[in-house]
Amino acid sequence: MHTVRNETTLQEAHTITDRPQRSAALFLLDNAIVVALLVAVIVFSLASPHVFFSPTNLISILRFASLGGIMVACYTCAMIAGQLDLSTSQVGAFSGVVFALLFQVMRWPLPLAFIAALACAGTVGWFNGLLINRVGLPSLVTTLAVGTLVYGLSYLIVDGFGIASVMRLTRPPLRSLVNADLFGIPISIYLMFALYAVVYLLLNHTRFGAHLYAVGGNPQAARLNGIRVPQMISTVLVMTALAAGVATVLLAGRQLAVTPTTTVLASPLVAALFAGVSLSGGVGRIERTLIGVLFFSVLGIGLSILSLPPFVRFTVEGLAFLLALLTDSIRTHLEQR
Amino acid sequence: MREETSAPSVLRPPSTPGSPRVLDFLLENGLYVSTLILIAVFSVSIPVFFTLENAVNILSSAALKGIIAAGFTITLIAGLIDTSILGMAALSTVLTGVLFQQLGWPLWTTMLGVAAAALVMASLNDALVVRAKINSFVATTATSGVFLGVCLALTNGQTITITRPELQTVLLARPLGLPVAIWLMFAVYGAGYVLLNHTRLGSHLYATGANHNAARVNGVPVNRVTHIAFALCALAAALGTVLATARAGSSLLFGTQFLTFDLTEIFTAVLLGGASLFGGSGKIERNLVAVLFLTILANGLQLLQTGTGIWLVLKGAAFVAAIILDVVRQRRQ
The per-residue pLDDT of chain B, averaged, comes to 84
Give, in degrees to the nearest 5, the angle at Cα A183 between A179 and A184.
Answer: 55
- A325 and B157 within 8 Å at the Cβ level: the answer is no
- A318 and B137 within 8 Å at the Cβ level: the answer is no
Instruction: Determine the distance in angstroms separating the CA of B82 from the nearest CA of chain A, rounded to an integer.
Output: 12
Q: In Å, how far from its chain's centre is CA A201?
A: 18
Closest Cβ opposite residue B152 in set A84, A157, A315: A315
Pick the residue from chain B with its C-alpha nearest to A269.
B138
CB B159 within 8 A of CB B254: yes
Q: Where do the domains of chain B lie, and which CATH numbers do they carry? A: 21-332 (1.10.3470)
pLDDT computed for residue B193 by the predictor: 93
**Alpha helices of B199-307 — where are they, by DSSP H?**
200-210, 212-217, 222-248, 263-272, 284-304
Kind and range of the H or E element at A168? Answer: strand A167-168
pLDDT computed for residue A163 by the predictor: 64
**Alpha helices of chain A — where are they, by DSSP H?**
7-17, 20-30, 32-47, 49-52, 55-80, 88-100, 110-130, 139-160, 172-178, 187-205, 207-217, 219-224, 229-255, 268-274, 286-305, 310-336
Residue A305 or B183, more confident? B183
Which B residues, 125 through 154, put their C-beta within 8 Å of a C-beta on chain A?
Answer: 128, 132-135, 137-139, 141-143, 145-146, 148-150, 152-153
Q: Which residue, A105, A102, A145, A97, is CA-closest to A121?
A: A97
B322 touches chain A (CB under 8 A): yes
Count of beta carbons in the 10 Å neighbourhood of residue B122? 27
Residue A323 or B261, more confident? A323
Closest Cβ opposite residue A326 in set B132, B314, B319: B132
State the average pLDDT over residues A321-330.
Answer: 80
Residue B218 or A28, more confident? B218
**In chain B, which residues have their Cβ closer than 8 Å to the Cβ of A319?**
146, 149
CB A282 within 8 A of CB A216: yes
What letter does residue A86 receive in the DSSP assignment?
S
CB A303 within 8 A of CB A316: yes
Residue A324 exposure: Cα atoms within 13 Å on the Cβ side: 28
Closest Cβ opposite residue A318 in set B132, B148, B308: B148
Please check the confidence at residue B21 and state whether its pLDDT lies above 80: no
Q: What are phi and psi of B211, to 5 degrees?
A: -160, 100
What letter does residue B13 receive in the DSSP assignment?
P
- A152 and B143 within 8 Å at the Cβ level: the answer is no
Please check the confidence at residue B5 and state whether its pLDDT lies above 70: no
3-state secondary structure B119-183: HHHHHHHHHHHHHCCCCHHHHHHHHHHHHHHHHHHHHCCCCCECCCCHHHHHHCCCHHHCCHHHH
Q: Which residue, A117, A234, A253, A289, is CA-closest to A174?
A: A253
Q: In Å, how far from its chain's centre is CA B96?
A: 20
Residue A148 or B16, more confident? A148
Among the ranges given (A115-129, A220-234, A254-268, A281-295), the one the predictor scored with the smallest mean pLDDT? A254-268
pLDDT in tens, B128-140: 999 888 888 888 9
CA distance A93 to A148: 12
Pick the residue from chain A with its C-alpha nearest to B144.
A318
CA distance B276 to A136: 13
Provide the residue ranges of all domains of chain A, joining segments of one domain with +: 7-44+51-336
Percent of chain A with pLDDT over 90: 16
pLDDT computed for residue B255 by the predictor: 65
CA distance B40 to A234: 41
The contacts of residue B327 (CB under 8 Å, 6+ apart) are A135, A136, A137
Topology adopted by domain A7-44+51-336? ABC transporter involved in vitamin B12 uptake, BtuC (1.10.3470)
What letter does residue B260 receive in the DSSP assignment?
S
A–B CB contacts, 8 A cutoff, strictly below: 134
Instruction: Determine the distance in angstroms separating the CA of B66 from the nearest CA of chain A, rounded to an integer.
Output: 20
pLDDT computed for residue A178 by the predictor: 76
DSSP per-residue letters across B33-94: HHHHHHHHHHHHH-TTTSSHHHHHHHHHHHHHHHHHHHHHHHHHHTT---TTHHHHHHHHHH
Please check the confidence at residue A319 and state whether its pLDDT lies above 90: no
CA distance A147 to A86: 7
Pick the residue from chain A with its C-alpha nearest to B325.
A135
Instruction: Determine the distance in angstroms separating the CA of B188 from the nearest CA of chain A, rounded to an integer.
Output: 27
B311 touches chain A (CB under 8 A): yes
Please check the confidence at residue A66 and state whether its pLDDT lies above 50: yes
Pick the residue from chain B with its C-alpha nearest to A146.
B320
The per-residue pLDDT of chain A, averaged, comes to 82
**In chain A, which residues have their Cβ closer than 8 Å to the Cβ of B138?**
84, 140, 269, 279, 325
Kind of pairing between the strands at A257-258 and A167-168: antiparallel
Residue B191 exposure: Cα atoms within 13 Å on the Cβ side: 12
Pick the residue from chain A with its C-alpha nearest to B138.
A325
Please check the confidence at residue B260 and state whether its pLDDT lies above 90: no
Residue A309 or B4, more confident? A309
pLDDT computed for residue A193 by the predictor: 92
Closest Cβ opposite residue A152 in set B146, B309, B327: B309
The contacts of residue B248 (CB under 8 Å, 6+ apart) are B260
pLDDT in tens, A203-248: 888 888 888 898 888 888 888 888 888 888 999 999 999 999 999 9
Closest Cβ opposite residue B316 in set A140, A152, A279: A152
State the average pLDDT over residues B242-251.
Answer: 86
Q: Which residues of A touch B (CB under 8 A)?
A: 84, 131, 135-138, 140-142, 144-153, 155-160, 269, 279, 309-312, 314-319, 321-322, 325-326, 328-330, 333
- Alpha carbon separation from B145 to A18, A43, A170, B89, B151 (Å, rounded): 39, 24, 35, 12, 10
